[in-house]
Structure 1
Amino acid sequence: MGLPDLPPLREVIAAHGLDARKSLGQNFLTDTNLLDRIARIPGLGTGARVYEVGPGPGGLTRALLRTGASVVAVERDDRALPALAELAAAADGWLTVVGDDAMAVDARALAGDGAHIVANLPYNIGTALFTGWLDGEEWPPWWASLTLMFQKEVAQRITARPGSGAYGRLAVLAQWRSVPKIALTVPARAFVPAPKVDSAVVHLVPATPMSAAHPARLA
């Protein structure tokens, strides 16, 4: 979809007092080219449905909307909701903002079957959300793909090969039911404020499980 001219993200952050808070696991991306690269990873087309967690000032949300996708964004930080409301008004029905805790909402009910989950996950809840999306009783899952930003070390643990030092619980869970890959590495300097570590975007698509093990044994 075509978005009208919008103010730069840095201006939005300043206007709404959106200093990133460590307690909420926040680090904001403001580079438009980088955000567009992330939004292109899942191969979204016009009318695709996306579920986003922790949009903050809406940088990745803008990029997802530019692909023609319809977005449901869940944001816990009340300070960000006015900025997201402005973006929703500009998106003319293509963006729904839910002010709630992503750990408490029913993502499937909000986004619908076949939605793509795309998020710069808050560091403090990223792993919990990820394992929750993978360890459900039902498989194939309700979501079509996962495109998730993690600390680089976590991304490497998810995609680690058997026998490597990073291979463990996250790799077993992810590779049992999906095909994960690191799609993009993001240096710390790309964030505001810059974290102490680099990040990486992991892309996963569902696959036929390698065994009939119960998910609770792997999660």
Structure 2
Amino acid sequence: MADTRPALPPLRDVIARHGLAASKALGQNFLLDEQLLDRIAAIPGPLRDAPAFEVGPGPGGLTRAILRAGAKLVAVERDRRCLPALAELEEAFPGQLRVISGDAMATDAHAEAGDGAHIIANLPYNVGTPLLVGWLSAQWAPLPWWSSLTLMFQMEVAERIVAKAGSDHYGRLAVLSQWRSDAKIAMKVHRSAFTPRPR
């Protein structure tokens, strides 16, 4: 079967063309390995025609993978430098991507993405935990409005999310995460996969 997905330039070329050096102030670390990104986008399960929400798409690496999986994606990007690169993806995947220029902390993900959305994100370091807590505790409804959360955190944060009662890492994040979801570490991404490489 022929691959009908649009041919896209390599992410490194997109970053160079748009001058998108990662911003330390915004907690940016870009993932460029397309096979790895496709594996991450596959974690929630089939995404064909499913609503999805992404925070901090940057140059659009994970965004591409989510779109290739067939999702209807809403992406929130605070860094205005990234908007032209994301606009190219909007053109390449007509009707599949809507980009919001703004701060994810001030964006109502539920209102933008709708019920049953899959939240998939390589979260910026400085807002990851507050966003997670917000999605887990939103309105304290009996069931969450989202279908799944596939989120990248530093390993120590991930360990706090999945910690068992009585362990050193067990605390508020573990209680909240495990009350609202079946929290698990789906895969580990080595720091060498990121640009720039985090410490």
Normalised-by-shorter TM-score class: over 0.9
Between Structure 1 and Structure 2, the one with more strand by share is 1
Query: Which of the numbers 98, 106, 114 marks the counterpart of 2:116?
Result: 114
Where has structure 1 moved over 3 Å in runs of 4 or more? none
Aligned to 2:173: 170
The SS at the match of 1:61 is helix
What's the offset of the Cα at 1:162?
Answer: 1.0
RMSD: 1.1
Aligned to 1:42: 44
Aligned to 1:7: 9
- The alignment covers a number of residue pairs equal to 196
Gaps of 5+ in 2: none
What's the offset of the Cα at 1:2?
Answer: 4.1
Give the TM-score normalised by the residue count of structure 1: 0.87
What's the offset of the Cα at 1:45?
Answer: 3.0
The SS at the match of 2:153 is strand
Asked if structure 2 preserves the Cα contact closer than 8 Å seen for 1:113 and 1:142, the reply is yes
Asked if structure 2 preserves the Cα contact closer than 8 Å seen for 1:55 and 1:73, the reply is yes
Asked if structure 1 preserves the Cα contact closer than 8 Å seen for 2:48 and 2:69, the reply is yes
What's the offset of the Cα at 1:158?
Answer: 0.2
Aligned to 1:72: 74
Aligned to 1:180: 183
Deviations 1:75-126 (A, max 9, x none): 0000000000011111011111110100001111110111110000000000
| Identity %, equivalent residues | 65
- For the pair 1:153 / 2:186, whether they are aligned, the reply is no
Deviations 1:4-43 (A, max 9, x none): 1111000101111110011101000000110000000000
Structure 1 Cα separation of the partners of residues 92 and 142 of structure 2: 37
Structure 2 Cα separation of the partners of residues 22 and 53 of structure 1: 16
Give the TM-score normalised by the residue count of structure 2: 0.96
Query: Which of the numbers 82, 89, 92 marks the counterpart of 1:90?
Result: 92
